[in-house]
Amino acid sequence: MRAQANLMSKVLRFWGLFRVEDIPYLRVHVVVVNDWKDDNLFIPLILPLAESRVWWRREMGIEVDFQLQGEVIEDLQQDQAINDPEQFGAALRNATKWQVRNPVPIIFIFPKHAHLTNKRWYGAAWEWWGFGAVAGQTKTLINEIIDHELGHILGLDHEGGTFMQEEFDHQIKTVTPEQRAKLRNTVANETWVR
């Protein structure tokens, strides 16, 4: 499993070789949440994270550096679907606080799940704690969900017709000039840090 994680980190860092120094830089920790040991969980995440990285640079003018931080063994999903988003966020925070290093934003990916809660959410974010969660079985939309939840972590609200639209079942990559300006300012000034 560690070899898979190292490969993913190396591939994602490859894109970092082309980092432009004069644009805002944001490091994001990625934590894979798994309920059993599976060496193939990391491979399907490489392309979506690389695509998200390219999209953030192209559309937002922000260099996002996704860094794999390891794996948390899951003990709170699916068998006991959580109705309360606050309870779900607190459970994630408590289960992983010893494994993550704040104040870096964190994206938890649940690769074996189509939804995070019994409300059938594809993703969720707790911006006051600086992390979000993504259901990994939404393969065709996983990078859109990552982008959307990262937008929440950085302070954006839902906005129809954009990548921050509340509900979507297809790719929406539209970004408003206001969203772009707010995100660039937030990352450049590190004002999202809690």
| Number of structural domains the chain divides into | 1
Residue 178, domain member (yes or no): yes
pLDDT, residue 183, reads 94
> What range does the domain containing 118 cover?
2-187
Q: How far apart are the first and last CA of the chain?
A: 32
Return the beta strands (E) in the chain as ranges. 25-34, 63-73, 106-110, 123-126, 131-135
CATH of the domain at 177: 3.40.390.10
Q: pLDDT, tens digit, for every residue of 90-102? A: 777 776 664 554 5
Q: pLDDT, tens digit, for every residue of 38-94? A: 656 677 788 889 999 999 999 999 999 998 876 666 555 544 445 667 777 777 777
d(CA 2, CA 126): 28
Residue 186 has pLDDT above 60, yes or no: yes
User: Can you tell me the mean pLDDT for 124-137?
Assistant: 79
Q: Tell me the pTM.
A: 0.80
Indicate the average pLDDT of the chain. 76
What's 5's DSSP letter? H
